[in-house]
């Protein structure tokens, strides 16, 4: 075998080896890009554009176009739900299912991190008024029911942001209103105290409704 032919064979072999090595690097690079796309798509866009700018164009105008395209890649996909997006399906809760179904209301509903709680009154499991004529005890019974609702949603009175109180006897309510200091130990919610002519049953002297905001 003459030297010229031997040199050609060696050259061809080197080219094959170089091509295989290059193909392996390209395959590895593509694999990394695919993996990176699922982790952080904007980064992949940036890498691709950097290669294009370096290899093909090297012009300022292309850099500007690349930046614009990169920013478009960085925009969140509106069709995909964010991991922080809340569940907007209403989550209803019935404290006394038979009573509430009979009167046609739900005691509470949660949407995202907001909870609306219907007015609580002093009654037993059969909707019979309790603590008749005793404003303070009726108020305590209201808060006891409200706590059960809050417990269901893993909330506390610290999460209450609105409290509206309806009473048929404002003077008697004001005499015992200090009991609320035992309920709200960190801060008081916003809300209103409203004197009304009557509530659902004539024995009811007070009704308390809440709105809750969860920081969870």
Answer whether residue 36 is part of any domain. Answer: yes
Instruction: State the total domains in the chain.
Output: 2
What is the pLDDT at residue 79?
Answer: 47
Indicate if 184 and 106 belong to the same structural domain: yes
Domain final residue pick, 15, 39, 74:
74
83 in a structural domain:
no
On whether both 100 and 161 belong to a single domain, the answer is yes
Residues 126 and 197 in one domain: yes
pLDDT in tens, 106-150: 999 999 999 999 999 999 999 999 999 999 999 999 999 999 999
Does residue 111 sit in the same domain as residue 19? no
Looking up tokens 């007015």 gives 119
Q: Are residue 46 and residue 99 in the same domain, yes or no?
A: no
Domain that holds residue 54: 3-74
The Cα–Cα gap between 8 and 73 comes to 48
Confirm if 183 and 157 have CB atoms less than 8 A apart: yes
Long-range pairs, 126-135, Cβ under 8 A, ≥24: 126/99, 127/96, 127/99, 127/102, 127/103, 129/201, 129/203, 129/204, 132/203, 133/203, 133/205, 135/167, 135/169, 135/172, 135/173, 135/175, 135/176, 135/205, 135/206
Share of the chain above pLDDT 90, in %: 58
In this structure, the answer to whether residues 11 and 116 fall within a common structural domain is no
Res 116: pLDDT: 98
120, 209: one domain: yes
Q: What digits encode the pLDDT tens for the residues 58-94? A: 444 444 445 445 555 555 555 444 445 788 899 999 9
**What average pLDDT score do residues 182-208 get?**
97
pLDDT at 208 over 80: yes
């Amino acid at each position: 075998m003459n030297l010229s032919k031997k040199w050609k064979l060696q050259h061809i072999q080197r080219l094959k080896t170089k091509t295989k090595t290059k193909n392996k690097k390209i395959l590895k690079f593509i694999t990394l890009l695919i993996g990176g796309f699922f982790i952080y798509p904007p980064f992949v866009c940036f890498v691709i554009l950097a290669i294009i700018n370096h290899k093909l164009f090297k012009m300022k105008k292309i850099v500007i176009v690349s930046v614009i395209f990169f920013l478009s890649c960085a925009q969140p996909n509106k069709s995909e739900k964010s991991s922080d997006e809340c569940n907007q399906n209403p989550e209803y809760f019935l404290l006394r299912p038979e009573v509430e179904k009979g009167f046609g209301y739900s005691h509470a509903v949660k949407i995202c991190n907001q909870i609306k709680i219907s007015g609580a009154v002093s009654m037993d499991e059969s909707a019979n008024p309790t603590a008749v004529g005793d404003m303070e005890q009726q108020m305590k019974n209201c808060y006891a029911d409200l706590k059960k609702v809050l417990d269901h949603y893993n909330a506390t009175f610290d999460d209450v942001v609105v409290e509206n109180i309806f009473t048929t006897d404002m003077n008697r309510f004001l005499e015992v209103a200090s009991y609320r200091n035992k309920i709200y130990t960190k801060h008081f919610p916003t809300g209103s105290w409203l004197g009304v002519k009557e509530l659902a049953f004539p024995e009811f002297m007070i009704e308390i409704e809440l709105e809750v905001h969860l920081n969870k």
